[in-house]
Amino acid sequence: MGLGYVGLPLAVEFSRAGFDVVGIDVQQSKVDQFNRGESYIKDVKDSVFKPLVESGKLRATTDFSVIGELDTIDICVPTPLRKTKDPDMSYVVAATDAIAAHVHPGLLVMLESTTYPGTTDELVLPKLEASGLRVGQDFFLCFSPERVDPGNAKYQTSNIPKVVGGITQACTEMGALFYKQALETVVPVSSTRVAEMVKLLENTFRMINIGLVNEMALMCDRMNIDVWEVIDAAATKPFGFMPFYPGPGLGGHCIPIDPFYLSWKSKESGIEARFIELAGYINGRMPEFVVEKIQYALNEASKPVRGSRIHVLGVAYKRDIEDVRESPALDIILLLQHLGAVVTFSDPFVPRIRSNGEMLESKELVSGVKSADCVVIVTDHTGLDYASVVEHSTLIVDTRNALKGFRSEKIVRL
Ligand SMILES: NC(=O)c1ccc[n+]([C@@H]2O[C@H](COP(=O)([O-])OP(=O)(O)OC[C@H]3O[C@@H](n4cnc5c(N)ncnc54)[C@H](O)[C@@H]3O)[C@@H](O)[C@H]2O)c1
C-alpha cells in the first residue's frame, strides 16, 4: 500500500520470490503506469519490472476492496511533517482505516512508514481491533522500518537487513517468516516500539553527525582551514572515527524529517531532544551560508548578486537520483531569486522545477555554465563533465567538493 520509493521495490522483490502481489495506491496515473510495466523508480529497471507485470503476478489497483483477498499487507505511505514540524499522520491513518474496513482472520499487517515510537500500538492497533478480531490470534501486526537508500547500487531492498518487531511474539514470528521469503537477512526484535526506534536512531545518528560536520565547515571557513582535507586526514584513523561530509543542507524524505518525529514524541515523556533541535538548526542554516558564499565570491569579482546570472548544477537532494523533495537546492535557488539573481540550472535527472512561481527547465550543461556569472555545484552527480565545467566557467562555488583535485583561482569551496 503506497507504490513509491519504498513500496514499488518491495512489491517487486516479493513478486520475484514467486508471490502474487497487488500494489494499492490512491494515484490513478501511477497505478496505470505500473500496470503498463513502466517503472517510475530509477532503482527498479524496466527489464526486471515489465516481465513480472506481464506474467500477471504483479499488478496495481486503486480499489481498496482487494484487501479482503490479501494474506499480508505492507503500509508504505508518506509520513511528512506539518509546517509546525509536527508529524503528519494523515496518510497512515487513511491507510489503516482502509485496512480496518477489510481486516479478516489470518491477515498479517506491516507498517513500514517511518514514524514515532508507539504509532503501531497506539494508532494502528486500536483501529484494527475495533473489528472485534484479536491481534496475535486472529490477525498479526508488526512494524518493520524501511531502510532503502535510493541510488545505492550495492545495497537495495533485497540485501538490506530487515528489522521486524511485532505486537506479540506470534506477530514477530509471522513477520520474520514473511520477510524471509524474499529478503536475504531478517532481524527480529522484541516489540514494534523497538523496531520504530531503530529507524529513528539510524537517521538521527546521520542527521546529528552531518550537523556536527556542517558546524565544523562553518568554523573552518572562518579560520581559513580546508574542512575537506581535515576530514580526509581524520578518516585515516582506523578506529573510532567515521567520516561525514558537509554540504548545502539536508534533503530527501528521511534525514531532515524523521528525527523530528522522535523529538515530537519525546516531549510527551518530558525529554527535550536537544541534539536534534541543534543539528536541525545548523543543517537548516546551510543554504543561507551557501548564498552568503556566493554573494562574497561575486563581490570579490565586483559583481552584485542582483542581476547576476547564477547557474546551479544539480537540484536533486543527493547524487544520482531524481528526487527533489526537501532538496537544499530549492532553498538556495529561492533565496537567490529573492536577492534579484537570474537563476538557471542543469540536472541530468531532473527535467524541471518550479521556484518563486516560475517553471525552470534544466539547461544543457556547457551552455548553462558558459552564460553564468557564477556556477554553484549543489549536487555532485557522478558522470558530469566537471573538467568542462571548470574550463567554461568564470567563477564556481563548490558545496560538495565535487572538484576535488582541480586547482583553480575561480573555485571557491565550502
Ligand atoms: N524514500 C526513501 O528513501 C525512504 C527510505 C526509508 C523509509 N522511507 C519511508 O517510507 C515511507 C514512504 O516513503 P516513500 O519515499 O516511498 O514515499 P512516496 O511519496 O514515494 O510514496 C508514497 C506513495 O503512497 C501513496 N499513498 C498516499 N496515501 C495513500 C493511501 N492512503 N493508500 C495508498 N497509497 C497511498 C502515494 O500516492 C505514493 O505513491 C515514508 O514513511 C518514508 O519516510 C522512505
Indicate the pLDDT class of residue 397, thresholds 50, 70 and 90: very high
Q: What percent of the chain has pLDDT over 70?
A: 100
Mutating to test ligand 1, I would choose from 76, 152, 261 the residue with most ligand atoms within 8 A of its C-beta, which is 76
Give the number of the atom of ligand 1 that is nearest the alpha carbon of residue 114: 41
Give the mean model confidence (pLDDT) for residues 133-162: 94
Which alpha helices (H) appear in 146-226, and where do they start and end? 169-180, 192-223
One-letter amino acid for residue 21 of the chain: V
Strand partners for 354: 359
The pLDDT of residue 31 is above 90? yes
Contact 382, 319 (CB under 8 A): yes
**Contact in structure between 204 and 258 (CB atoms under 8 Å):** yes
The confidence band for 150, taking pLDDT boundaries of 50, 70 and 90, is confident
CA angle 342, 346, 350 (to 5 degrees): 120
Three-class DSSP category at 238: coil
| CB-based contacts of 152-161 (< 8 A; 24+ apart in sequence) | 152/43, 156/9, 156/43, 157/9, 157/10, 157/12, 157/13, 157/183, 158/13, 158/182, 158/183, 158/184, 159/183, 159/184, 159/185, 161/185, 161/186, 161/187
Find the mean pLDDT for residues 24-33.
98
Q: Which of 8, 10, 25 to mutate to test the pocket of ligand 1 (most atoms within 8 A of CB)?
A: 25
Residues 380/329, Cβ–Cβ less than 8 Å: no
Which pLDDT belongs to residue 123? 98
Q: Using alpha carbons only, what angle is made at residue 321 by residues 319 and 323, rounded to the nearest 5 degrees?
A: 115
Each residue of 213-255: pLDDT tens digit?
999 999 999 999 999 999 999 999 999 999 999 999 999 888 9
Q: Which residue has the cell 580546508?
A: 226
Cα 177 to ligand 1 centroid, rounded to whole Å: 24
Longest dimension (CA), the chain: 74
Q: Which atom of ligand 1 is nearest to the CA of 145?
A: 7
Q: Which amino acid is residue 319, in one-letter code? A: R
Q: What is the pLDDT of residues 265-300, one digit of tens each?
A: 999 999 999 999 999 999 999 999 999 999 999 999
CB 252 within 8 A of CB 317: yes
C-alpha cell at 54: 506481464
Whose C-alpha lies nearest to ligand 1, atom 20?
A: 4
Question: Which residue's C-alpha cell is 562555488?
Answer: 397
pLDDT in tens, 45-76: 999 999 999 999 999 999 999 999 999 999 99
Q: For ligand 1, is residue 30 a contact (CB within 6 Å)?
A: yes
d(CA 377, CA 389): 10
Q: Return the best residue to mutate from 3, 5, 62 for the ligand 1 pocket (most ligand atoms within 8 A of CB).
A: 5
Q: Is 2 in the pocket of ligand 1 (CB under 6 A)?
A: yes
Cβ of 318 less than 6 Å from ligand 1: no
Coil, helix or strand at residue 133? coil
- The pick from 88, 110, 198, 253 for probing ligand 1's pocket by mutation, whose C-beta has the most ligand atoms within 8 angstroms, reads 253
Mean local confidence (pLDDT), 131-154: 95
Question: What residues form DSSP beta bridges with 413?
Answer: 398
Whether 365 contacts 317, CB under 8 Å: no
Rounded to the nearest angstrom, the distance between the alpha carbon of 7 and the centre of ligand 1 is 7
What is the pLDDT confidence band of residue 43, given thresholds at 50, 70 and 90? confident
Q: To which residue does cell 513502466 refer?
A: 38
Distance 81 CA to ligand 1 centre (A): 13
Contacts of 150 (CB under 8 A, 6+ apart): 5, 41, 42, 43, 321, 323
Cβ of 11 below 6 Å from ligand 1? no
- In angstroms, what CA-CA distances link 240 with 63, 208, 230, 233, 234? 51, 16, 16, 14, 10
Beta strand 108-111 with 140-143 is parallel
Among candidates 320, 322, 329, which has minimal Cα distance to 383? 320
Q: What is the pLDDT at residue 1?
A: 98
pLDDT of residue 85: 83
CA angle 179, 64, 41 (to 5 degrees): 55
CA–CA distances in Å: residue 92 to residues 2, 25, 112, 376: 10, 13, 10, 38
- Does the pLDDT value for residue 84 go beyond 90? no
The atom number, within ligand 1, closest to the CA of 323 reads: 1
Nearest to 56 by CA among 22, 7, 98: 22
Of residues 76, 142, 171, 254, which has the active-site annotation? 254
The per-residue DSSP string of 134-178 comes to: -BTTTBEEEE------TT-SS--GGGS-EEEEESSHHHHHHHHHH
Q: CB of 404 within 8 A of CB of 390?
A: no
- Give per-residue pLDDT as tens, 99-141: 999 999 999 999 999 999 999 999 999 999 999 999 999 999 9
The predicted-structure confidence for 327-360, as pLDDT tens digits, reads as follows 999 999 999 999 999 999 999 999 999 999 999 9
- The mean predicted confidence, pLDDT, of the chain is 96
254 catalytic residue (yes or no): yes
DSSP state of 81: B
Indicate which residue's Cα is closest to atom 18 of ligand 1.
Answer: 4
**What pLDDT, on a 0 to 100 scale, did the predictor assign at position 42?**
86
According to DSSP, the β-strands at 162-166 and 140-143 are: antiparallel
Query: Is the shortest distance between the CB of 77 and ligand 1 below 6 Å?
Result: yes
Please work out whether the CB of residue 76 comes within 6 Å of at least one atom of ligand 1.
yes
**81 — pLDDT class (breaks 50, 70, 90):** very high
- Residue 83: its pLDDT value, please? 83
Length of the chain in terms of residues written: 414
